Every structure is written in structure tokens, then in C-alpha cells.
Structure 1
Amino acid sequence: MARALAINVAANTNLPGVRGPVYPDGSFVYLPIPEREPVDPAADVPTYADLLDALDPLPFDLPADSRDRAVHLDPEFAAYPYCENYTYGDEHGVKAGPISELEPGDSLFFYATLTTHEPPAGVATGPAADWVTPDWGAYLIGEFRVERVLDSDACASLSATEREAFASNAHCKRADFDAKVLVRGSDNSRLFDRAVPLSAPESGATANSIVTELSNDSGKGPWWRRRLWFDEAATARLRGLV
């Protein structure tokens, strides 16, 4: 039976200074964080300007100094601009350790904090959903059905063949490879069309039942920054919701 782990990713109020938007119908824009490390000069790493040219218009402007910054496009979703596969890497042990415990067939969910906006002109959306928070909230935005996981030992001795399998991942495009875990998702992975709320409708800081009843987290304090584990029964229920 499969288990699941959910981790926080994507743009936030620290990097690059704004959250991605969620619209009243629950549709959203996945906006990655900026790249903070030097990249391989030979690697194809888009800037925010490149990315925004390939996406629908945003309902706000990015910070002025962000447009020419390279993006750390991680996780990558195969159907998203400048992405080829479903891969994720992380250099921080606090995330890499738990992720390394995942096995093929498990789920790695990604969630982001998103700010509610009206859609910009020309972006079509559907009827408003009653679960979208009035200001900001935490939402599941995608899922990998895990196909392969490389732990810290495997990453430290990454062979040329293994590196090629993850070549499109942002950590493999850095000048110095630094990932302590790499995950490849199967073709059943996806970036969601609609966000799945983890926050209660009234407040982003208030966890809903997915967090408090299905995950291992109490929902107290800044739960939206923490890793959320789901056991086998909870994973089955969660998969049914997305």
C-alpha cells in the first residue's frame, strides 16, 4: 500500500517576494522560486521573463529586479514551460531525509502558499469555489507518483547514466551539483488544473481536515511550512480527493 508526503514549494513572500496567484474558481499559476546558485553556462535555464512569456498573464507585476533572474524550476512538471520530465531535487537534509523514505508507487505531493486574485483580463475562469480563502492559503498543486528515488548516498556517487536520467532537473543544471535527494515521477504524475485546499475557507493560517484528520500534523502553528505525512489509508483517501 502506498504512502504519501506533501512538501512546500514554489514562490513565496521571501523568494521572489510574491506568492503565485489562485483565482476564485480554484485555478492557479505555478510560479517557481528564483535560482540562488550559479548555473552551468551550457544549461538551458529560463528567466522569469522567459517563463512569463510562456504563461498566461499574471494579475500582478513581479518585483522589478526579478524578471531577469533565472528560475529554480523545481519541481518540474512535464507539461509546464521549459520542463521535460517529472523530477524533483533537494539539497536540504530536513526535506531530503523524509523524501528519501519514499518508495516506487508512493505519492510526493507539492503544496504552495498562493494569494487570491481576480484573474487578469483575457484569462478565462469558471464559477467561484467556496473553499478559496479571501487572502492567502496553502493548496496542493501537483503530485508525483514516485517511480524512482535517489538518496544522499546515490546522489553523492551519481553515475553518468543516472545523471542523464535527471538531466532536466534544476539541481543538475547548477554549476555544482548539490542535491541530496532526487525523485522521478511516473507518467501518472501531474500538475493540477485546480488547486486542492489545505487551508480552511476563512483563513489561510487555519488548517482544514486534510491536514488535521488525514496527515500526521496537528495543524497548530505554521503548519504550512512543514512536511505532511499520510499513511496508507489517508493516502487512498487523499488520492480520491485530487
Structure 2
Amino acid sequence: MSRAIAINVGANTTLPGFRGPVTPDGRFAYVPIPEREPTAESVPTYGDLSVPLGVDVSDVADRRVHLDPEFAGVYGSTTYTYGDEHGVKAGPLSTLDPGDSLFFYATLSLRGDPAEAPTFPPKWGAYLIGEFRVERAITGETYRELDASERARFASNAHVKRADFDAKVLVAGGEGSRLLDRAVPLSAPEAGATAGPLVTDLSSDSGKGPWWRRVLRYDADATARLRAVVDEGQPDSSDRKSVHS
């Protein structure tokens, strides 16, 4: 039975100093964090990205981006990979099996009239924005032992591009992986800091304190229910057109 983990990614008020937006109909902009380490390969700047929804990146246009996670078809990526150098995330992520879900959530600022988005918190909140259906999850040590042909699967990952490879875990997404077309709120409608039922009822997290910075874990039953909620929140395939296309 599949299980799931959800982790926080993307721009925030610390890095690079603003959050991505979400509109009352659920459209959102995935904005990566800045790259803070030297890289062996060139990486794009914020000015190089075609950030949707008219996000103003002029103040950080020359800063390089840490494009992680990467989603095929978004900002020039052709595959799905994620890496992390922090043990608090790497430990649980390295236990993911093929077919499990790695969900990504971000804190987003509501752009528009809160009255038009009654299920969204009025200012900012945590929202699910993407999912990998795990193809492979490995530790950094395992990656170092792979031959060149196996390493190629992760060649475009931001940690692999760094001058000093530092990922403690690497995850590759397979079929079914996606950047969502519509964000799904984890926060309750009252306030961004208040955990909603996808956290308190389904995950193993208490929803107390700064839950939106933590790793959220879902067992097999909760994962099935979470996937169903996410799918229900996406537009019909006939109407689907991602703002990141």
C-alpha cells in the first residue's frame, strides 16, 4: 500500500523575500528559492524564468535560482527530481518506495478578494502545489556509488549541479508526477497558521506550532484519501491549462 510525505518548498518571506501568489480560483505561481551555493554548471536567474501570474521578480532578477523540485515542462525542466541536504527531510524521504507519493507544499499569498475564496485563508496559507509518484529515492551516499549511466537520471537536479554535491537524498518522480493546476489548501480558512483537516485529520502531525515548516506523513489510507482530495481540486482534463505551461 502506498504512503505519502509532504514537504515545504518554494519562495517565502525569507528567501527570496516574498511568497508566490494564489488566486481565488486556485491558480498559483511556483517560485523557487535562490541558489546560495557555487555551482559547477550555469543555472538560471529569476530574470530568466517566465514566472506566471505576472509575478514581479525585478528586485531579484539577477539572483540565481535553486530550481528544486523540478517539474517536467516547467521553467525548461524535462524531468522530475528533488534533492535535499537537510537530515530532517532526508531521513524520511529516503524511505519512500516506488509508487509512494512525495507531495510538495508552499506558502502562498492570496491575490484577490478573500470573499471569492471562502475555503482559502484570507492573507497567506500553506497549499499543496505538486506531487511526485516516486520512481526512485536514494541517499546521497548511494548516489556517489552509482555508475555514470545511473547518475544520469538525476543530472538536472540543482544539488547535482552544485560545485560540491551535498544532497543527503535524491528523489526521482515517475509517471503520474505533476505540478498541480490548482493549489489545494492545507491551512484552514480562518488563518494560514491554522492547520486544516488535511493536516490534522489525515497526517500524523498535530497541527500545533509551525506545522507548515514540518515534514507531514500520511499512512496508506490517508494517502488514498489525500490523493482523492487533490484530484477533486483539479480542473477537468478538457479545461486544464496550467499557468506554468
TM-score (norm 1): 0.90
Measure how far apart 1:234 and its partner are: 0.2
Cα-to-partner distance string for 1:6-64 (whole Å, 9 max, x where unaligned): 00000001100001111111110000000010111xx341100001xx233435x3472
- Which whole-Å CA distance do the structure 1 matches of 2:140 and 2:184 have between them? 31
- Aligned with 2:201: secondary structure? helix
| Residues 1:199 and 2:187 aligned together | yes
Residue number in structure 1 paired with 2:25:
25
Equivalences for residues 1-242 of structure 1 within 5 A: 1-40=1-40, 43-51=41-49, 54-59=50-55, 61-62=56-57, 64=59, 66-118=60-112, 128-242=116-230
Letter in 1 for 2:82: Y
Amino acid of the structure 1 residue aligned with 2:84: D
- Which consecutive residues of structure 1, in runs of 5 or more, have no partner in the other structure? 120-126
- Secondary structure, in 3 states, of the residue corresponding to 1:150? strand
Is the partner of 1:104 in helix, strand or coil?
A: coil
2:159 counterpart letter in structure 1: H
* AA of the residue aligned to 2:43: V
Supply the distance in 1 between the matched residues of 2:33 and 2:52 (Cα, whole angstroms). 18
**Where does structure 1 differ by over 6 angstroms across 4 or more consecutive aligned residues?**
none
CA contact (8 A) 1:211 1:219 kept: yes
Secondary structure of the corresponding residue to residue 90 of structure 2: helix
In structure 2, the CA distance between the partners of 1:187 and 1:128, relative to structure 1 (3 Å rule), is farther
* 1:202 positional shift: 1.5
Whether the aligned pair in 1 keeps the contact of 2:29 and 2:53 (CA below 8 Å) is no
On the 8 A contact 2:6/2:217 being kept in 1, the answer is yes
Query: How far apart are residue 132 of structure 1 and its match?
Result: 1.8
User: Which amino acid counterpart does residue 12 of structure 1 have in structure 2?
Assistant: N
Measured at CA, do residues 193 and 128 of structure 1 come closer, stay the same or move farther in structure 2, by a change above 3 Å? farther
Contact 1:21 1:58 in 2 (8 A): no
d(CA) in 2 for partners of 1:232 and 1:36?
36
Separation of aligned partners in 2, 1:189 and 1:131: 25
Deviates more, 1:170-179 or 1:220-229: 170-179
> Once the two structures are aligned, what percentage of the paired residues are identical?
65
Query: Could you tell me the TM-score, scaled by structure 2's length?
Result: 0.89
**CA shift for structure 1 position 153:** 2.5
Matched residue of 1:211: which SS?
A: helix
